[in-house]
Each structure stands twice: as structure tokens, then as C-alpha cells.
Amino acid sequence: MERKARRLLREDGAGETPQAQSAEEAHRTAREPLAPGAEVNSQVSNYFDKKGMAVAKRTAISLLTERGAPSMIKSVVSTEYQDLQKEIVLLQDKWKRQINPETIKPTLDKAAMAAGVPAAALTTIDFEISLFIQCIEEINSILINYDPELETKLAGISSLLTEDTMIRWIEEAFSFNHQYFVDFAEENGFEEWIPHFLTETALRPYLQKAAEIIQPDITHAIPGAGCPVCGEPVRLATIEENGKKMIHCPRCLVHWNAKRLECAHCGNEDHKNMKFLTIERDAVSQIQVCEDCKGYIKIIDTRQYIEKPSAALLDLNSIHLDYVAQNNGYQAVGEEKDIN
């Protein structure tokens, strides 16, 4: 008999699940200045970077400092690393198709959503744990195939993939509890990025499936609340055929229209405080920055793209813009404004 983890109702009643949070707490969690997507991307890319397999990140940054203006090589992510990510995206698509939509039940609470509570926090997902474990095993194989040295580093992880641990991983990933995964890695002798990366990667097909179901109800986002479906901080937009700005969540892939001059972090619409940084030799990208909250988002004009990459790949391939923005003092999550 298959045991399933149900997010909303834990039968043993132990512990506080993310869903047991009040709307207020969920809102606070959503505003936590931690971006699981960005965090995990940068950790895994750092790992491969150390091995000389990703990026010319440091070179790019020194170029920026010397010239004093945003100017850098167009992509800092190696083609090998992009290929790895593409393979993972294909795998996630495959799993997403295997998820029975009946197992995902969103509660579209308009009032909670208007208060910035991400819809995923109000969604019941019946996880089939054996499938979740299978996902993680498949990611392990891809990683080892990409970098055989990882075989030793991932050795012994299979025996830890028990139902109880998987339920915990799912809950902690939903709660954005990065520290839990850091501790788990340390206690079990894994590199710091491994447990969270595996969980995030295996969780995304579920988030994306939920986002597909909820998408028709998503027309806008509350500034500062992050993605209206999964709570990931906003950091990526595209310019569409009609010239409109469309914000995309690289984590759950939901998207919504936004005003061209509105700050996604604090809602500022004063054009005097919004700036656009452009990148030399990168005609399709801009960084929109807000002087009110010091937040930024990346804007990519995809109108000339023959094949539009998924938001997840677009986010990864534009990681150089994150470095430029952050080196210029802007951050992925805007500062909370002092209300006094």
C-alpha cells in the first residue's frame, strides 16, 4: 500500500506544517528574504564553478569594477552547466506529466491572496512519496553522469531517502527553511548544497503543476509578496509581443502582467525613482532598479527569440544580470519600508 504525504492534513498531527500557519504567518514567510530558487541555483553553480566547470564569474565582476559601469560578458554560465540544467528541466516536465492533477487541490481564498499569501500555501498536495523518491534518484543519476566525482559525494544518500525524511524535506522546502537542509547536510556528511538542491528540484514539478491549475486566476501580484503562487521573490520579467511587461516566476513558472514602471518589490510607481541599467553587448536585457527599496528585477526582451526558453532557463542564463545588480548595491528582495 502506498503511503502518501498530504500537505494540509498530517494524520499524525505532529509538528506544525506550513499549512497550519495563519495567513499572517504565511505572508511573513512569503516575504522572508530568501529565494529558494536563486539560493539553490547559486549554490549548485558555485559547486561546479569551483570545479572550473561553470562560470567566469570572478573575471566578470572584476571587469565590472575596473570599468566602473555595468559591462560584462554576456553569459557567465558555461554551456555544460546550461546543458545540465536543460536536462533537469526536461526531467521535471516528464514528472509533471506523471502527476495526477486530482492530487492537487487549491483553495482559492481571494482575501488571503489579496493579502499576499501564496496560493501554494493554501493548496493540498497528496504526494506519492515513492514517486518523489524516484525523482530524487533520477536527479542523482543526472548529476553523477554530469560529474562522476559526485558518485562518492552522493554515496549513501539513497539509504536516507525514507518516507519520513521525504515528508520532512517537502515540508521544510515549502517553509523556505534553508537552514534545515544545511544542518541535514552537515549531520550526514554531504556538501551543503546537495539536500536542498535535490528537494527543490523534485518539488518543482508539483509547484509547476499547481501553478498550471491556478494560472487562470492569477492576474497580478501584490508588490513585495513575491510570486502569488509559490512566494518566490520576483526577479524576472519579459517584454512580450505587445510591448507589455510580463513577470515570470522561474520556480513555479506562473506569469502575470505588470505595469512597466511599477516596482515589483515595493509598488513604487514614481518614475524618478525607477532606473534601468543596461548591459554592454547585451541588447535584450535590462535591470530595472528601484531607488525607494533598492530592489531589482531582470527584464529580458524575448520578442526576437525564435524559441523562447522557459522562465527557469531564462533566469539561469541571465545570472550575469544578478551579479551586476548586486554589485551595484541592489537586491533581489526590496527593503521593508519604515512606516514611521
Which residues of the shown chain bind Zn ion in the complex (CB under 5 A)? Answer: 227, 229-230, 232, 249, 251-252, 263, 265-266, 268, 290, 292-293, 295, 334
* SS3 state of residue 198: helix
User: In terms of CB distance, is 229 or 316 closer to Zn ion?
Assistant: 229
User: In terms of CB distance, is 31 or 265 closer to Zn ion?
Assistant: 265
Query: Shortest Cβ distance from residue 334 to Zn ion (Å)?
Result: 5
Query: Shortest Cβ distance from residue 110 to Zn ion (Å)?
Result: 18
CB distance 41 to 48 below 8 Å: no
User: In terms of CB distance, is 40 or 60 closer to Zn ion?
Assistant: 40
Closest CA to 184 of 204, 162, 152: 162
User: Which helix (H) or strand (E) is 324 found in, with range?
Assistant: helix 319-327
Query: Shortest Cβ distance from residue 234 to Zn ion (Å)?
Result: 9
Query: Shortest Cβ distance from residue 192 to Zn ion (Å)?
Result: 24
**Ramachandran region of residue 68, left (φ > 0), alpha (ψ -120 to 50) or beta?**
left
Output the CA angle 198-204-207, nearest 5 degrees: 145
Query: Shortest Cβ distance from residue 211 to Zn ion (Å)?
Result: 6
User: In terms of CB distance, is 122 or 150 closer to Zn ion?
Assistant: 122
User: In terms of CB distance, is 154 or 299 closer to Zn ion?
Assistant: 299
What's phi and psi for 295, nearest 5 deg?
-85, 160
User: In terms of CB distance, is 222 or 284 closer to Zn ion?
Assistant: 222
Find all residues with CB under 8 Å of 251, minimum gap 6, and list them. Answer: 36, 37, 204, 207, 227, 230, 232, 312
Query: Shortest Cβ distance from residue 240 to Zn ion (Å)?
Result: 19
Closest CA to 142 of 101, 85, 194: 85
Query: Shortest Cβ distance from residue 252 to Zn ion (Å)?
Result: 3
User: In terms of CB distance, is 150 or 228 closer to Zn ion?
Assistant: 228
Q: What single-letter amino acid sits at 296?
A: Y
The DSSP secondary structure of 9-20, one letter per residue, reads --TT--S--GGG
Query: Shortest Cβ distance from residue 109 to Zn ion (Å)?
Result: 17
The DSSP secondary structure of 204-236, one letter per residue, reads HHHHHHHHHHHGGG-----TTS--TTT-PPP-E
Give the rounded distance of the alpha carbon of 16 from its chain centre.
Answer: 24
Alpha-carbon torsion angle 200, 201, 206, 212, nearest 10: 110
